[in-house]
Structure formats: structure tokens, C-alpha cells
Homo-oligomer: A and B are copies of this chain.
Amino acid sequence: MKQRPTILDVAKEAGVSKSTVSLVLQGSSSVKEETRKSVRQAMTEIGYVYNRSAATLRSASSGLIGLVINDLRNPFFTEFAALFQMELAKAGFATVLANSDEDPKLQSQMISSLVEHGVSGFIISPSYGEEEATLAVLDAANTPTLQVFRSLERAEGTYPFLAPDYLLGGRLAAEHLIAQGCQTIAFLGGLEGRPVTQERMQGYLSVLEEHGLEPVILTGQATRAFGKSLAATLKEEFPHVDGAICFNDLVALGVLSACPDLGMTPGFDLRVVGFDDIEDGQDSYPPLTTISCDIPGFASSTANQIVAWIKNGVVPPSTARSPVRLVIRASSGA
């Protein structure tokens, strides 16, 4: 367990001053190629590892970015987190992933822990409720912060917000089911009053209105379990419903998995559309028609924006919407 070598050791080994070593570390162009090489070699020879804490202390930029997600167990967010992290790694930043688990208390705790660790920026998909604590620590941190997918009410404007065009997604889903000949289309799942639910529902409502159709709305948890229970509710209380737009794919997959026991054939008796395009939807029975939010594109765009903000001070627009598209599979009977 001997001490790790420092730039001083490297300097000694390479026969230069420690400033020169530091310049090599930063890739400065004012060091001769030859010198650079010998320094690099000295580093590998003595097993030097860069100490970012020291660098951070002096230069105030850690190269760490905090990604705080409301529900990391939802595959949609997992997918985003995985892609985002890889994207950032390319830009030389490390990602600290934290799961606030829909708990605003946990969220503010985690954020303040990340601030202590000196993160250079935040990407947050916030948990709802008790916004004060979270906003207080974020304000005190005074660091580039981007909201994704969801936005805190009081933070609109202060922290730029980037999300898929949920409203358009709702419209596309509704138009598709109408084109498939559905007469009565229900909107299933998603917590009442939440902005994301509102937007997806609004797209659905406006299309139904344009076609003179009556809406059927059954909100609730965005989970498989709730989706399963909804299928039974539909069968018993709303047997005339022949199309369902689900708040997200989890709800939709729950509905699909409940159908066999209820004697319903999804894609035939009941045409189902989800939202998010998580991978599981490709391998469900039947495969799930859904609204894709282009997560890879969303992740790279988010990564680019936060990096541009940190490095060059380019503040993203206060609100931006990314494109969505309909992905047609068998669950809607196509």
C-alpha cells in the first residue's frame, strides 16, 4: 500500500518540472512532442494516476455530472441513463447516477451530496412534491442544471426543460386507433393532474373531440400491476371500449398480460397503444404498438447541451420539445 505517485514523481522520472507535467496532463499545445512523449512514458512507468480531487480543488471543475432520476427501475429511464452516460463519457465527463425513487426528500439529499462532491452540472428528471428543499439546494449549488422529461412547477424558466412532445404522441396514438376503426377509445393510467399525464391525455382528447368521440378516462399508477387491474375494469364496466391508449408501456404491458385470463384478444377485441417504446414491448405478446421518444437521440442531445453549457456557457432554451413517432406493431391490430 505505498503512496500513489504524484506529478512531482513523474517530473523527477522524466527530468522536467512539475509544471510541464501538468501542462502535458492538460494537453497543452505548448509542450514539445518529444517532451510530451517522455512525460507520458514516465507516467506509465511509475504507474501514475491523475488525482482529480486535487485538480478540482484548484480549478473548480470536477468533470462529474449528476444524473438524478425519479424512477430508475422503469426501463425507459434505465435506457436513457445508460445511453446518456456513454455519451458523456465520450466527452470526457463521468456520470453520477442517482435514483430518487419518487421521493422528494431523498432527492434533495442526493442533490446536496452531489453538490458536495463538486459536480459540474445536473440533469434531473424530478420527483414531484415538496419542491422547496430541492430548489433551495439547487439554487445554492449555482451550477448548470437541466430538467428532462418532467419539470418542477416552480422551476419553469429557471432551469431549462427538455422533453419529448407528449401532446403530439397522444394525438398520434389516438389518430392511429381511429384509423384502425376503433369506436370507443379509453385513456389508461398515469396519475391525475401530473403535467406529463395532462399532456398525453390532451393530445388524445383533442383528437377524440375532432372526431366527435366520447372519451373514457381511467387514471392511476403507471405500472404493470395497475394495467392488469385496468383490463378487468374495462371488461366489467366498459365492455364497449375497443381501443386503449396507455399512459406508458408498463401500463400497456400490464393490460396485455391480463387479456388471456379475461378472454380478450389484444389487437382484436381491444387495440392497445403504449407510450415510450421500451424494449420489452418488442417481445411481448402481442408486440406492442407504441409512441417512440427516440431515446438515443434524446440522450445525446441532452449530453451535448449540458456539456456546451458547462464548457462554453451556452444556456439551452428554457423549453424544448423533441420529436416522437408512432411505432406500429400487432397490439393495435395492424
Q: Is the interface of A mostly helix, strand, loop or mixed?
A: helix
Q: Are A141 and B285 in contact (CB under 8 A)?
A: no
Contact check, A49 vs B112: say whether CB atoms are below 8 A apart.
yes
- A77-99: CB near B (< 8 Å → 1, else 0) gives 01101100110010000111111
Report the bound CA distance from A57 to B53 in whole Å.
6
**Contact A142-B94, Cβ < 8 Å, known A280-B224, A283-B228:** no
Determine which of B117, B225, B228, B258 lies in contact with A53 in the assembled complex, contact meaning CB atoms within 8 Å: B117
Known contacts A47-B140, A51-B118; A96 and B99 CB within 8 A of each other: no
Does A214 reach chain B (CB closer than 8 Å)?
no
Across the interface, which residues of B come within 8 angstroms of A220, CB to CB?
A: none
Q: Is the CB of A118 within 8 A of B52?
A: yes
- In the complex, whether A311 has a CB less than 8 A from a CB of chain B is no
Contact of A97 among B54, B56, B97, B112 (CB under 8 A): B97
In the complex, which residue of chain B has the Cβ closest to the Cβ of A92? B113
List residues of chain B with CB within 8 A of the CB of A215. Answer: none
Distance from A61 Cβ to chain B, minimum over Cβ atoms (Å): 10
CA distance A73 to B97 in the complex (A): 14
* Given A113-B94, A142-B1, A257-B284: A82 in contact with B86 (beta carbons within 8 A): no
Q: A257-B284, A282-B225 are in contact. Are A82 and B99 (CB under 8 A)?
A: yes
Q: A78-B78, A117-B52, A118-B53 are in contact. Are A280 and B283 (CB under 8 A)?
A: no
* Known contacts A73-B75, A79-B73, A224-B280; is-contact A116 B52 (Cβ 8 Å): yes
Not counting A53-B117, A256-B285, a sample of 4 additional A-B residue pairs whose C-beta atoms are within 8 angstroms of each other reads: A1-B142, A94-B96, A258-B285, A261-B285
